[in-house]
């Protein structure tokens, strides 16, 4: 329990009191937490459950966090990400609805192609990051963060009602499926044994509906949040444990939890909403300007465009950068200082890198301090240590693309 709580605290689970869940004697607060369809499965496999974004989720299993992290990089791991919000947008005006809320060019997506995008507000701030897929079944499939579930749903539902009142053909459906992420260099090899489709024809950010190890109607999307090749499988609840059991039957696959997921995404230079990006961060400040579709930039027809588009060519006050250092690990809120000792920013995410054997972090600094190779200082435990601005990702990504 102490180890699980320590790992959870290092991950910066804001406002979440990490606790081991045994299934007996839960407090009223714990009772209020939601459980994924794999809750009992996690307990049976030694999962140490903690509170995260209103859910009871495994932070790690019997293996150490570092072991799980390295196993994902070398083989593949299975993550339960069923806490993520899954929705479908239906109707002729589904693209119109989505483009009224996000910065991406959804209209240009080919059938079964997806993209990472951002909900933004009129001030240019990021409300959430999400993946939008244009399915061949005639709807948009959207996956967004559990911690933003209520505001994301309200945002989309309000827009649906607004467009419907104007005569638009659009509707929203919450998908109650489980969501499993199989991540790592051998993930496709493992999955191929249980599907009839040729996964070599499914490149990064594309998806298809297929039967997976005998479980029908699964949406398999070639994506993930580890920097490795892999898939996310949206599976009907009734088949979730069956599918997880089948995948775990391959010796290449081990279960992994929130701790490994966090350190893997940080090595890959990927943002955690609420830590690295939030409503007070613009896409340009967050080094996410690439999510803005070219047509959308020209039309300036997304929320916050009047703030965001000028920043692409102008100067912003701060930018997200990568940092590396020796010594004590950099943690969220650690002050970042110039070489002269002036506070210029703060760390938003940080941890020891199991792959690089040194500390990595992300944080925000003024543009003049953002060039790779710039020497800065980070205050850790009231001591200043040298940090170097570094290119991201810290560990090369291995997404699968067609040659």
Distance CA 224, CA 211 (A): 20
- Tokens encoding 280: 């007070």
The closest alpha carbon to 154, from 119, 103, 118, belongs to 119
For the chain, the maximum distance between any two Cα atoms, rounded to a whole number of angstroms, is 62
> Which residues, listed in sequence order, are joined to residue 115 by a DSSP beta bridge?
132
Contact residues for 65 (Cβ-Cβ < 8 A; gap 6+): 7, 257, 259, 260, 263
Distance CA 195, CA 216 (A): 10
Whether the CB-CB separation of 86 and 142 falls below 8 Å is answered with yes
Distance CA 39, CA 61 (A): 13
Asked if residue 232 belongs to a known ligand binding site, the reply is yes
What CA–CA distances, in Å, run from 362 to 121, 287, 388? 24, 11, 11
Whether the CB-CB separation of 270 and 262 falls below 8 Å is answered with no
Helices (H), 75-184: 94-99, 149-165
CA 188 to chain centre: 20
CA neighbours closer than 13 Å in the CB half-sphere of residue 67: 8
CA 362 to chain centre: 15
Compute, in degrees rounded to 10, the torsion defined by CA atoms 285, 287, 289, 291. Answer: -130
Buried b (16+ CB within 10 A) or exposed e, 337-348: bbeeeeebbbbb
Whether the CB-CB separation of 49 and 107 falls below 8 Å is answered with no
Known binding site for substrate: residues? 232
Known binding site: residues? 232
């Amino acid at each position: 329990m102490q180890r699980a709580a320590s790992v959870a605290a290092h991950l910066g689970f804001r406002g979440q009191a990490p606790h081991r869940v045994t299934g007996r004697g839960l407090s009223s607060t714990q009772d209020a937490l939601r459980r994924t369809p794999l809750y009992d499965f996690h307990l049976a496999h030694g999962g140490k459950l903690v509170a995260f974004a209103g859910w009871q989720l495994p932070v790690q299993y019997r293996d150490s966090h570092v072991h799980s992290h390295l196993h994902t990089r070398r083989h593949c791991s299975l993550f339960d990400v069923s806490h993520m919000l899954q929705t479908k947008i239906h109707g002729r005006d589904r693209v119109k609805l989505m483009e009224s809320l996000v910065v991406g060019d959804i209209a240009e997506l080919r059938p079964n192609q997806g993209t990472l995008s951002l909900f933004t507000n009129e001030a240019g701030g990021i409300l959430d990051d999400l993946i939008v897929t244009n399915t061949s079944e005639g709807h948009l499939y959207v996956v967004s963060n559990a911690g933003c579930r209520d505001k994301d749903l309200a945002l989309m539902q309000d827009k649906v009602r607004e467009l419907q009142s104007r005569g638009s053909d659009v509707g929203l459906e919450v998908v109650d499926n489980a969501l499993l992420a199989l991540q790592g260099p051998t993930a496709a090899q493992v999955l191929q044994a249980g599907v009839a489709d040729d996964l070599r024809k499914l490149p990064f950010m594309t998806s298809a509906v297929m039967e997976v190890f005998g479980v029908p109607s699964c949406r398999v999307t070639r994506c993930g949040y580890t920097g490795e090749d892999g898939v996310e499988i949206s599976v009907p609840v009734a088949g979730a444990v069956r599918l997880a059991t089948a995948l775990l039957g391959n010796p290449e696959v081990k279960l992994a939890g929130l701790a490994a997921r966090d350190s893997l995404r940080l090595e890959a230079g990927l943002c955690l909403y609420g830590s690295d990006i939030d409503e007070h961060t613009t896409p340009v400040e967050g080094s996410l300007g690439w999510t803005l579709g070219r047509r959308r930039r020209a039309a300036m027809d997304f929320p916050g465009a009047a703030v965001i588009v000028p920043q692409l060519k102008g100067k912003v006050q701060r930018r997200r950068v990568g940092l590396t250092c020796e010594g004590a690990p950099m943690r969220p809120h650690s002050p970042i200082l110039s070489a002269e000792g002036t506070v210029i920013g703060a760390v938003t995410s940080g941890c020891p890198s199991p792959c690089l054997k040194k500390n990595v972090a992300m944080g925000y600094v003024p543009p003049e301090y953002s060039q790779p190779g710039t020497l800065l200082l980070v205050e850790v435990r009231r001591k200043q240590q040298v940090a170097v601005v570094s290119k991201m990702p810290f560990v090369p990504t291995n997404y699968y693309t067609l040659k």
